Chain A
């Protein structure tokens, strides 16, 4: 049976569907731009650094999304201040910041375990535990997600132009630096939201996976965003369903939701890649080549 009894009636499941669905929606939109601008590594670094915020939120007993969000925004601001323009330099600075953030998380998680003896905090912060999300997260999640989507919508055209060529954008009168900074903030918001659901370490999978899959399926930015959202939400809701069902496979214990979600993301990516390779091979065999 796919839909085990009590699925929709269960409160933790409802919360997971709402918060997880929202995170997938935002990650789909923001992820396409992140992949477009070569910010996959930066997104991953934001997530790792935000884990320290997640760890501290358990220590202080505050809303975990607030903790993740605070540190993610600090990471975004730091990256902008560091002002590394060239790709290799950016890679370097990002890697160093990532390490520092995770080191801090190690310390804070240690405090969590020793001072509050909350077991499983490390798993929750790093890999998420979607059925234990407190309902108090929902209002903030809606606000954060809504803000990220609204800003993305407003910046849509100039951001596309600046991603194509900052020079061309500048000639058209676009404030390239400002929208770049705003986009980093939106990335931080998306990362925080997905960190609360699938944990800091896996949040990159939700950000990049559906976007990368979508980009191999379509040539248009708008379609890519729609596809990324559909794939992300599908993976999240599918993962929640499978995790709920897994309670019945090994009675009393369920497998982690984030494992199912990321597995589905990976599966979709594999399927899309196989299909794309097949399409390319067919096109080559037919002798069509673009340009001359």
Chain B
């Protein structure tokens, strides 16, 4: 789903993944162009993290190929920013917010850091862009969860990657922080033409911002524009039984039933309940 003029950043082509010997995902295909904001939606255990790790190069697909920036191989590492789900951060860690972002700039290089005005201003600009500049000189472990998240996003973006991956960034945030992070990420995607792929188990916080979705269920994936994928026919085919998609006050409810009119479980908030359905 790439506009003709938009350069393709990530291409996942018929990828199948296994984890600990068991198949996790089969025949997943989608592509992202610069400026795309794509939600990777699925229940816990649906393969979201495994797919992200495969894109990062930590897992090798059993089948299919993954290409970033139209080049495969290790060049991909330079074009990707990553925000992991959880980093153990306690208040004793002697790294200020600005130190964490600076490490995103040159932490991979050997030797001692040579402080330069240019790198300092890049770090300052990045902290400002994530609205965390007033915490620049505070230890990262003393910041709230939402602001730690922003600093980690700054760390991931400071080298201007083409692709930004986030693993469940909204999971431990309250509603307001969640909305703020989504707005922030959407702005980065649009303004800097970065392809953003973030995983989540709840569609709703992403609804306004997401223009593309990769929906994982039952070991398979459905991908495309949000309106194309979140439809009864598509999801029913994916899950293998009847799914109703209901829109209420701008929220989406995805409901599984085994006969019309009978509701088994409501999926959107707790898609993991589907696994219990026979």
Q: Which residues of A contact B (CB under 8 A)?
A: 32, 36, 153-158, 160-161, 164-165, 167-174, 215, 218-222, 224, 290-292
Contact = CB atoms under 8 A, between A and B. Distances in A.
A221 B92 CA distance: 11
Given A157-B112, A219-B96, A221-B99, A290 B143 contact: yes
Interface of B: 56, 58, 74, 77-78, 80, 82, 84, 87-88, 92-96, 99-100, 103-104, 106-113, 135, 137-139, 142-144, 146-147, 155
B82 A171 contact: yes
Among B58, B95, B113, B155, the one with the most A-chain Cβ atoms within 10 Å of its Cβ is B95
Among B96, B110, B135, the one with the most A-chain Cβ atoms within 10 Å of its Cβ is B110
A165 B84 contact: yes
Contacts of B112: 153, 156-157
A157 B106 CA distance: 7
Contacts of B56: 171
B111 A291 contact: no
26 contacts: A32-B94, A36-B94, A154-B110, A154-B111, A156-B111, A157-B103, A157-B108, A157-B110, A157-B113, A160-B99, A167-B82, A168-B107, A171-B80, A171-B82, A172-B77, A172-B104, A173-B74, A174-B107, A215-B94, A219-B138, A220-B96, A220-B99, A290-B143, A290-B144, A291-B142, A291-B146
Contacts of B113: 156-157, 222
A269 B186 CA distance: 47
Given A157-B110, A174-B108, A220-B99, A167 B137 contact: no
Main secondary structure of the interface of A (DSSP, over half): helix
A172 B155 CA distance: 11
A32 to B, nearest CB: 8
Contact of B95 (A155, A164, A172): A164
B108 A218 contact: no
- 5 residue pairs, one from A and one from B, having the closest CB atoms: A291-B144, A161-B107, A172-B108, A291-B143, A171-B82
